[in-house]
Amino acid sequence: MTDTAKLFETWSPDREIVLVKVFNHPRDKVFAAWMDPKALAEWYGPAGLSIETREADIREGGVWRFDMVGMFEGQEQRFENLMRFVEIAPNERIVMDYGTPDPDDPDRFHMVVTFDEQAVGKTVLTMRQLHPSRARRQAVISFGAVEYGLQTLDGLAAWLDS
């Protein structure tokens, strides 16, 4: 059984967040925006935060370690992030573990991004997150993860359009 099959075997709707967006760009272009570390740093993350890459090795088994940086109440805040790439199927799917750089991060979650070209030049991107517990899912929803995720996808759309 592949890692992806194992991941979906334990998938549970009460721990899941799903975001979907249609892009007016071909699937290979949308997928490529995820594979280029420079591009990722330009469009990834919620509105108002910038990305500072610390390490980028975007391949199966590789990692993207980055900080989301923003000003809050006059003070710079940094949020450390780490994506570990579990599976990359070109133009189809990216499977990641996502959390902080702490190897024992109890809030780490799985994320699967799929790319489906349903019409010529249009791509449906689906981002599915599986959180470690129902309570953790609710906590991230409460602090704005759905809105921030949609802002991230809007950032990708704007980057692709430019």
Q: How far apart are alpha carbons 35 and 96 in whole angstroms?
A: 13
Among positive and negative, which fits the CA dihedral 26, 37, 96, 151? negative
Please write the tens of the pLDDT for every residue from 58-91.
Answer: 999 999 999 999 998 899 999 999 999 999 999 9
Burial class (CB in 10 A: 0-12, 13-18, 19+), 107: middle
In the predicted model, is pLDDT for residue 158 greater than 60? yes
What tens digit of pLDDT does each residue of 18-49 get? 999 999 999 999 999 999 999 999 999 999 99
What is the distance between the terminal CA atoms of the chain, rounded to a whole angstrom? 41
- CATH code for position 73: 3.30.530.20
Domain hosting residue 29, numbered range:
3-161
Average pLDDT for the chain: 93
The count of domains in the chain is 1
> Quick one: pLDDT band at residue 4, thresholds 50, 70, 90?
very low
pTM of the model as a whole: 0.90
**Per-residue DSSP letter, 142:** H
DSSP-derived secondary structure for 25-83? S-HHHHHHHHH-HHHHHHH-SSTT-EEEEEEE--STT-EEEEEEEEEETTEEEEEEEEE
Instruction: Name the residue with higher pLDDT: 111 or 11.
Output: 111
Tokens of 49: 């935060």
**What pLDDT is stored for residue 6 in this prediction?**
53
